[in-house]
Amino acid sequence: MLANPALIYLDHNATTPIDPGVRDAMMPFLSDRYGNPSSQHALGRQAAKAVEQARQQLSQFLDCSSDELFFTSGGTESSNLAISGTIMATDSPASAHIITSAIEHPATLEPCRALRQMGCEITVIGCDSNGVMQPHEVASAIQPNTKLVSVMHANNETGSIQPINAISHICKQSGILLHVDAAQSVGKLPVSCQKIGIDLMTVAGHKFYAPKGIGCLVARKGITLSPLVHGGGQESGLSPGTENVAQIVALGAAAEIAAEKSGSDAMRICGLRDQFENLVEQETHGDIFIHAKSAERLMNTTSVSFPDVEAVELLNRIPFLCASTGAACHSHSTVISATLQAMGVTEPIARGTVRISMGRHTTEDEIQQAAYALAKTWKKIRTTRPAAYEAGDTTKP
């Protein structure tokens, strides 16, 4: 599956490889089926039919009507369209109030910040030490001018699953629209727009084995959105421009494959995650800390802190392992992730945090190699320097 078989890829929350079935579905539209869906001739009609077939595949997978689904360039555009599009369509955008959380992806937080510059009021609620927001805090934050609640379904760093059903119930009682960023959950968890009661939902294709650069926004019937870009009438004018047919076809195929495989994938991958965590704890004698371990999490995600080391250095010493860190270095300073900060994780703990996210093609052998390599390398680094803090202590300054 990997171009370089020597690599172990455990960064599926960042992006997934394209599934072979997805690649096969899209290839004809990169060669001889090149028509513009707006054209009335045979090639154009062929392309338009393919787009609508993909829309049907996605709508069945997400449990929404096909006319409630709009193709976009990905999760960032979808979330911006949901948030800014909702507020700009109100009678008084500058006086609107939005509720979001501190653990959101920048694709949610940044449009909120931009709207704040226009005069909108933004309330950012926190989370508990497991990275889970509390529904009662959403209810307490509601004001007479609240127009939108925008929260994620599952956190991309810790995997913590949020209480979306309870938040949806609160929003419905108050007559407020709910936008859910489901970029990390679609393809991993069952996501039903109807059962959950979602008004707007973000989907990113490259998180579930489709290419980068394609996604969709689900917008419940009756919701008015103001477009971010103006041009043609494609996607009901909400995402104008000639459709990226090959990518749209790929997204439809990815949805169909996920519908068939997600159940069996989840059981197998959850077992791998638990095996990885057990191995790392065993090899480090319990001296590591697993974030959000007691929360309901995505079955593929584990966020683990290795004491007394920098996660960047740890991963740099294991070049065959592709994973992410809980902190990033910018201009000789360390920036701790907003999620870990919101959870109350101290900087030393965050600096040693590695995120492992598994996927459909992850093997037991890869999990074992990764666990042993991380533990062995951590021990080697740790013996060369004094302890910076006590293992697992997320409260010490």
Q: Which residues are catalytic?
A: 329
Report the 3 state secondary structure along 50-87: HHHHHHHHHHHHHCCCHHHEEEECCHHHHHHHHHHHHH
- Label the pairing between strands 177-181 and 200-204: parallel
CA 230/CA 237 separation, integer angstroms:
7
User: Which residue is listed with tokens 């054209």?
Assistant: 39
CA distance 72 to 237: 11
**Contacts for 183-187: CB closer than 8 Å, 24+ residues apart:** 183/75, 183/105, 183/107, 183/152, 183/156, 183/207, 183/215, 184/13, 184/152, 184/153, 184/154, 184/155, 184/156, 184/159, 184/298, 185/153, 185/154, 185/161, 185/298, 186/62, 186/258, 187/254, 187/258, 187/262
The encoded tokens of residue 387 equal 């302890």
Residue 28 CA from chain centroid, whole number: 29
Residues 6+ apart with CB under 8 A from 386: 308
CA distance 391 to 394: 9
What is d(CA 341, CA 129) in angstroms, rounded to the nearest whole number? 10
Q: What are phi and psi for residue 230, nearest 5 degrees?
A: -115, 140
